[in-house]
Chains A and B, each alone.
Chain A
């Protein structure tokens, strides 16, 4: 009964319902317009909603997340420019369809399969998160430490130019997260004797700088690229088309959910793996892959939307973000005084069921908004970037200032924006920086708890790790990721392959 009441909160409250609808609608545009990303939008939004009650703030952010992941496919199909990394695979077959004058059909099928994928991800979250949280209560501090490391390493190894730059970025994030007073001993860390650093570096300023300003500066390189215009015909797909691709959609939704649930991975990786899966299991596609195969749309789009529900699983049960957006959402929950992790599920189960319900509603709104107003949408997407970019920059500045009415935060944001711009130019991934900032406290606290409980002995910690199956698996995975990137590993497996 309590669960039902929590599920009904966003449904029965018109304000929350409206915010989810508004968020989803805005998310579709944010995700679709090249130069705007969901991560950027959610980071800016946190600064404006931090004074709100937690439910309305979460409702808006969840809507933007859900709509944004789907919205990226729109420009991938219409302009061959994925609005978000999760839509990269969608462009491979979506754009050829648009060139054949079938943009409407492509958008229609993508919308329906995104809804199916989203639904499977959310259902998995609802079914598996509560028992996982029960299990996670028994996790030892060392397990959390390994999980945090795993998250940073996975994001680092799967993005940018390789693991080394990923580890550098993750370590930088961990360092940034530890600036200020140590919460256990009140020792100053990286403050260099300045008052401004004693309270730590503003998480929102880092986030907006790295994802808003740096992205804006990158977009200046292609600011005057003319946009491609497409005609849009029939949108709603026939039942026969949906039914034909349902089995593949179910398989790739499962792939998306599982990959989304792995700490540190997200919709972009899920979409690419699902696309690869589709090319292997589809024996005779009507149209070859890369030339406009419907299967090439179904696989990535079911997977990236299923990954949304999946990404919430580690976030809500372990306090470990599934991807960069959930890392920012964890930051939002912290700002609202909540502590994501197994205890959140025990102490505030209503929050969990509210999130499930809000995700479900956002998924329904995505279907409604996705199948309507596409012709008007095409006009807005064609808006010149030379006008859009100054607006994004202005919103970023206002967002950074609004958190604590401090110009200092604006300078921090600008500094991190310029730094992030150079990092991007030279192939450093930015995702691990944010993950590092978010996970720094978790890693530091749990390392200290773990080592104190083993009487400050590394040998005892190793023995404890090897004796516990869970700790052992996590530890082995961390080591495996390191080893898999060494030249020795490459030599062994190249020999075997030959």
Chain B
């Protein structure tokens, strides 16, 4: 049987999976214990028990694997672009309400494109403006998705644009 070598961090991840499964099994037991086969906790107990058994089997197989040669945690599992992207998404979520959709998206895209494509800042900004404009048109105006306005006086701008069209109509 072919077994793949153990990747960096795989053992820790699978130990965490086992620990998490045990915790969930305990929580499932807490729902209604062994009250009845039709009790609300019956299926959660069976599913979390299945998770525990599988996690044990997976951990056993992981321990049997030999560590992979030539792979490093910081290069092959959690390289800098992945960490930066996770941090950028978290930052986006934090800034979305106070700053609003348009400025947050512009900053997010400009920074990400500049970082990943290694292009010049003006080019990254220009691309971001075009993409955000397109997304805004499609999702805000066509799909009518409500996004936080933040520091951008979105309502006033839309009213002003509508007013322009109304004036032209007259």
Contacts and interface: CB of A to CB of B under 8 A. Distances in A.
Chain A interface residue count: which class?
A: 35 or more
Contacts of A211: none
A171 B50 contact: yes
A171 to B, nearest CB: 4
Contacts of A417: 89
A389 interface: yes
Nearest to A410: B93
B166 interface: no
A390 B50 CA distance: 37
Contacts of B112: 389-390, 393
A11 interface: no
Contacts of B37: 451, 456, 458
B82 A386 contact: no
B129 interface: no
A374 B66 CA distance: 47
A475 interface: no
Interface in A408-451: 410-411, 414, 417-418, 421-422, 425-427, 440, 443-444, 447-448, 451
Contacts of A221: 76, 79, 82
Nearest to A453: B38
A213 B135 CA distance: 18
A48 interface: yes
Interface string A158-198: 00010011011001101100100010110111101000000
Contact of A390 (B10, B57, B58, B116): B116
Given A164-B58, A213-B89, A220-B85, A171 B51 contact: yes
Interface in B16-62: 17, 24, 27-28, 31-32, 36-38, 40-44, 47-48, 50-51, 54-55, 57-58, 61
Interface string B130-151: 0100010001000111110000
A447 B117 contact: no
B66 to A, nearest CB: 16
B60 to A, nearest CB: 10
B13 A167 contact: no
A397 B86 CA distance: 12
B61 to A, nearest CB: 8
Given A49-B143, A397-B92, A426 B47 contact: no
Contacts of A444: 43
A179 B10 CA distance: 27
A164 B54 contact: yes
User: What DSSP secondary structure best describes chain B's contact surface?
Assistant: helix
B89 A397 contact: yes
A443 B44 CA distance: 11
B99 interface: no
Nearest to B144: A51
Contacts of A389: 112, 116
B86 A223 contact: no
A187 B31 contact: yes
A384 interface: yes
Contacts of B92: 394, 397, 410
A178 B145 contact: no
Contacts, number: 160
B2 to A, nearest CB: 11
Interface residues of B, number: 60
Contacts of B77: 425
B85 A217 contact: yes
Contacts of A123: none
Contacts of B76: 221
B113 interface: yes
Interface in A202-223: 213, 216-217, 220-221, 223
Given A389-B116, A414-B89, A414-B93, A168 B44 contact: no
Contact of B86 (A174, A185, A217): A217
A167 B147 contact: no
A397 B88 CA distance: 11
B13 A175 contact: no
B89 A447 contact: no
A167 B48 CA distance: 11
A482 B147 CA distance: 48
Interface stretch (A78-86, A102-110, A129-137, A399-407): A399-407
A426 B13 contact: yes
A174 B97 CA distance: 33
A387 interface: yes
A394 B108 contact: yes
Contact of A178 (B43, B93, B135): B43
Given A164-B58, A426-B13, A451-B38, A390 B147 contact: no
Contacts of A220: 79, 81-82, 85, 116
B133 to A, nearest CB: 13
Given A168-B54, A448-B38, A414 B139 contact: no
20 contacts: A48-B139, A165-B54, A171-B50, A188-B31, A189-B28, A190-B24, A190-B27, A190-B44, A213-B89, A221-B79, A386-B117, A387-B116, A387-B127, A390-B109, A394-B109, A397-B96, A410-B92, A425-B77, A444-B43, A448-B43
Given A174-B47, A221-B76, A447-B43, 6 more contacts: A165-B58, A168-B58, A171-B47, A217-B82, A224-B116, A414-B90
5 closest Cβ contacts across the A-B interface? A390-B112, A386-B117, A168-B54, A386-B116, A182-B40
